[in-house]
């Protein structure tokens, strides 16, 4: 089940704060940038960069994901490992608040999200 419109707006507000803190300077954004997308109950944060073979093609490389589980009223946290599969973020697999997910990604204590 998708999250409510109210929850989507709240997530977007928090994600925009996150992007303000973590996006590269304007003069670098054509080379590397970050953004997000919200689909159903999942929020995905990804890096945007030119393809190494064709600089005109932009590649989206996800690195963090949170999925809302309504029955448990929490967010499951995932990171994209080098095997290109989503793995549960073991230090903190779930959080109650979406803001906590963004804080964990920001701190990146185990270098899973930003490398």
Residue-wise pLDDT for 88-107, tens only, equals: 999 999 999 999 999 999 99
The residue extents of the domains of the chain are 5-107
Percent above pLDDT 90 for the chain = 94
Confidence of residue 1 (pLDDT cuts 50, 70, 90): low
* End-to-end CA separation in angstroms for the chain: 32
Burial class of residue 22 in the structure, from the number of CB atoms within 10 Å of its CB (0-12 exposed, 13-18 middle, 19+ buried): middle
């Amino acid at each position: 089940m998708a999250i409510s419109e109210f929850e989507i707006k709240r997530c977007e507000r928090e994600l925009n704060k996150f992007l303000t803190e973590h996006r590269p300077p304007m003069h670098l954004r054509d080379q590397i940038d970050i953004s997000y997308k919200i689909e159903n109950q999942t929020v995905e944060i990804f890096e945007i960069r030119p393809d190494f073979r064709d600089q005109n093609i932009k590649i989206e490389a996800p690195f963090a994901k949170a999925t809302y589980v309504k029955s448990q009223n929490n967010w499951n946290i995932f990171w994209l490992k080098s095997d290109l599969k989503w793995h549960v973020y073991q230090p903190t697999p779930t959080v109650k608040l979406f803001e906590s997910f963004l804080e964990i990604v920001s701190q990146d204590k185990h270098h899973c999200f930003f490398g």
